[in-house]
Amino acid sequence: MPVENLEFKTEINQLLNLMIHSLYSHKEIFLRELLSNASDAIDKARYESLVNSEAITDTGDWKIKITADKDAKTLTISDNGIGMTKEEVISELGTIAHSGTLEFMRTLKEKGDINLIGQFGVGFYSSFMVADKVTVVTKSVKSETAVKWESEAKGTFTVDDIEKETRGTDVILHIKDDDKQYLNHWEVSSIVRKYSDYIEYPIVMDVEREEDSALDKGKKVKLIKEETLNSQKAIWLKDKAEITEEQYNEFYKHVSHDFADPLSVIHFKAEGTSEFTALLYIPSQVPMDIFYEQFKIGPVLYVKRVQIMDHCEELLPKYLRFIKGVIDSSDLPLNVSREILQNNPHVSVINKNVTKKVLDTLSDMKLKDLEKYKKFYKELGKVLKEGVHFDFQRREAVADLLLFRSTKTGKEGYTTFKEYVEQMREGQEEIYYITAASYEEALQSPHLESFNDKGYEVLMMLDEVDDIIFGYFEYKGKRMKSVIKGSVDLDKKDEQEKKEEGHKYEKLIARITSRLKDDIKEVRLSGRLKQSPCCLVSDEGAIDPAMERMLRSMGKEVPKNLRILELNPSHPLIEALGAAIEKDDQGADESLDMLYEQALMIDGNKPKDPAAFAKKISELMLESLNLKKSS
């Protein structure tokens, strides 16, 4: 079959252009990425040999070999892993199927940090930072024919069927003149020890050494020997005292594809009904795609040091999906599948133990190093709080880890559920909260007026999903209560006073109800307003307005949710409108429309007719200026 010439996808051309024409201080990262890919390929082959012994029979010598040829100026990374078919080569090396590639390129342009590459599954392309041509020769366990892929990163690549005796992949880098240091044994060895020492397969290289001659005593001879460059011992199986902080950090970057150091390390061994070792990390920053459906959840699962799954979501609850690392079990079968995992009691035990350990670690951090915990919470608190909604068994334990701003903390301060309950007013039975897009928006909300006046603390919930998470939550027997929903009467007015107010504004309420019947559910007098004339509130069980706006922005169909218009009976404007309606002033209807438009704007919505509203405001401004001029 003739050589096929194919074009890269547009995003790959852009990516390669970035890598080739930008200057980076850590080009050496290319070797870490290629060794990581080789290790993954052997992991897959090793697993295949265990579950399908007929496919792979030569399982005694897994290894990765690095070959430097200074004369040819090539550096080759070879593995005896799973290999690739022709279709896989075109798919994996000609396109980027991973989400977030454009986001990666944007971030790379902004930060210029080459350590980012692994996070987006584009590590192979880092080869072009040091090579002007890359050749890949690979043979899959599923194919009798090998494939040769080659590119100079000029917009095209070639694919050809060739002969290759053994299974696996050779990545051949044709090194640029400016990067010939990567052909030196000492440079390669240093990079391997720095980034890939923990890879459990031997990373070997032929090295020329001088040794005493066995035939001619006292004479030195040069011999080529294959040397292993990495220690190979799985880092999670080492004693914690043997592992440096740098080694922990490098393994985290390997397993998470993050470019920053982790915030905290959790390394422990469990013994008893289920034996396993866990090396887990709490990241220092939120993964960019953590809120997307395709985000990979769960640590890497090993069984007796054999990698079984890249991401085992059964081992951790979804609200801890930011945790990265490795869990190595001694009790699970090697041929474990997702179906087996779902019904295996050992998995349940691991999940329970690991979840408790993570929550205990966070609790300890919050108690002993609040500033560090605040850094964690700023990045990942939005994910953690999902546990209140999804993990009924541990919901209060998760709730104790949450931090909130409130009407009493100021913008930079925080409070907790525990502190809030301890400081509740006498006779207060509910935990009050308000949902808003920002601290400033919450602070300016008219819904807080009565609470501020009476000295009640109100928690500020600033994420769109907060009302779903906390709407029906109870903490220590105290029910959560949204201040923008249902009725509020902090003044505890008696029935006679309510009756008199209702009679005073009976006609005004009737007129507004009739005029705005298509826009509002009900008109009533408010117990929450002190300075503002009106506001819109929702029924107790209705969807939160912020959530409603978010769903609509996502193109979701949301049933029309009519709100309740509350009037402040002591406000001069409401009193004036009430008097005008009592006199049957037909001109007051226009003011009633503006009152509703004002309520919409306070609620974060646009007026029904922005142009008409702006025109009316202009008329009022002109009228006011003319009155001042005439006086």
Do 249 and 206 reside in the same domain of the chain? no
Do 206 and 246 reside in the same domain of the chain? no
Q: What is the pLDDT of residues 306-351, one digit of tens each?
A: 777 888 999 999 999 999 999 999 888 766 666 777 778 899 999 9
Is a pLDDT exceeding 60 seen at residue 112?
A: no
What is the average pLDDT across 276-298? Answer: 89
Is a pLDDT exceeding 70 seen at residue 556?
A: yes
What's residue 603's pLDDT? 81
Split at pLDDT 50, 70, 90, the class of 185 is very high
Q: Does some domain include residue 415?
A: no
Which among 268, 19, 275, 257 is positioned nearest to 153, based on CA atoms? 19
What is the average pLDDT across 556-574? Answer: 88
Q: Does some domain include residue 441?
A: no
Which among 276, 451, 410, 449 is positioned nearest to 352, based on CA atoms? 276
Q: Which two tokens stand for residue 451?
A: 């609470």
Pick the more confident residue, 478 or 560: 478
Do 99 and 24 reside in the same domain of the chain? yes
Q: Does some domain include residue 59?
A: yes
Is a pLDDT exceeding 80 seen at residue 458?
A: yes
Percent of the chain whose pLDDT exceeds 70:
90
Do 166 and 29 reside in the same domain of the chain? yes
Question: CA triplet 317, 200, 251: central angle to 5 degrees?
Answer: 50
Q: Does some domain include residue 224?
A: yes
Is a pLDDT exceeding 90 seen at residue 585?
A: no
Do 277 and 156 reside in the same domain of the chain? no
Cβ-contact 313, 297 below 8 angstroms:
yes
Phi and psi at 252, nearest 5°, equal: -60, -45
Do 221 and 247 reside in the same domain of the chain? no
Q: Map residue 531 onto helix, strand or coil.
A: coil
Is a pLDDT exceeding 50 seen at residue 127?
A: yes
99, β-bridge pairs: none
Is a pLDDT exceeding 50 seen at residue 116?
A: no
Split at pLDDT 50, 70, 90, the class of 250 is confident
Alpha-carbon distance of 428 to 486, in angstroms, equals: 17
Task: List the CATH number of the domain containing 612.
Answer: 1.20.120.790
Task: List the CATH number of the domain containing 15.
Answer: 3.30.565.10
The residue segments making up the domain with residue 306 are 235-368
What is the average pLDDT across 417-427? Answer: 94
Alpha-carbon distance of 483 to 12, in angstroms, equals: 51
Do 530 and 592 reside in the same domain of the chain? yes
Which among 263, 258, 331 is positioned nearest to 301, based on CA atoms? 331
What's residue 506's pLDDT? 93
Domain finish residue from 228, 244, 272: 228
Q: Which two tokens stand for residue 177?
A: 């003149």
Q: Which amino acid is at 438?
A: S
Q: Does some domain include residue 71?
A: yes
Cβ-contact 145, 89 below 8 angstroms:
no
Q: Which amino acid is at 499?
A: K
CA distances to 12, 33, 105, 106, 253 from 112, rounded to whole Å, are 18, 18, 10, 10, 18
Secondary element (H or E) of residue 170 = strand 168-175
Do 132 and 147 reside in the same domain of the chain? yes
**CB atoms < 10 A from the CB of 42, how many?**
22
Q: Does some domain include residue 479?
A: no
What's residue 162's pLDDT? 94
Distance from chain centroid for Cα 282: 12
SS3 percent helix, strand, coil of the chain, rounded to 5, is: 40, 20, 35
Secondary element (H or E) of residue 475 = strand 474-475
Is a pLDDT exceeding 90 seen at residue 447?
A: yes
What's residue 146's pLDDT? 95
Q: Does some domain include residue 85?
A: yes
Cβ-contact 478, 419 below 8 angstroms:
no
Do 255 and 224 reside in the same domain of the chain? no
Task: List the CATH number of the domain containing 281.
Answer: 3.30.230.80
Q: Which amino acid is at 186?
A: W
Alpha-carbon distance of 162 to 356, in angstroms, equals: 53
Cβ-contact 122, 15 below 8 angstroms:
yes
Q: Does some domain include residue 384?
A: no
**CB atoms < 10 A from the CB of 449, how many?**
18
Question: CA triplet 337, 339, 342: central angle to 5 degrees?
Answer: 110
Q: Mean pLDDT across the chain, nearest whole number?
A: 86
Helix 506-515 and helix 572-582, axial crossing angle in degrees, nearest 10: 90
- Count how many residues are written for the chain: 631
Domain finish residue from 228, 255, 272: 228
**CB atoms < 10 A from the CB of 393, how many?**
10
Do 299 and 198 reside in the same domain of the chain? no
User: How many domains in the chain?
Assistant: 3
Q: Which two tokens stand for residue 392?
A: 């009924």
Split at pLDDT 50, 70, 90, the class of 540 is confident
Do 144 and 186 reside in the same domain of the chain? yes
Alpha-carbon distance of 198 to 255, in angstroms, equals: 11
Is a pLDDT exceeding 80 seen at residue 54?
A: no
Non-local CB neighbours of 61 within 8 Å, separated by 6+ positions? 80
Do 308 and 190 reside in the same domain of the chain? no
Domain finish residue from 188, 208, 228: 228
Q: What is the pLDDT of residues 64-96, one digit of tens each?
A: 999 999 999 999 999 999 999 999 888 877 655
Pick the more confident residue, 606 or 186: 186
Q: Report CA torsion sign: 374, 376, 379, 382.
A: negative
Alpha-carbon distance of 561 to 314, in angstroms, equals: 38
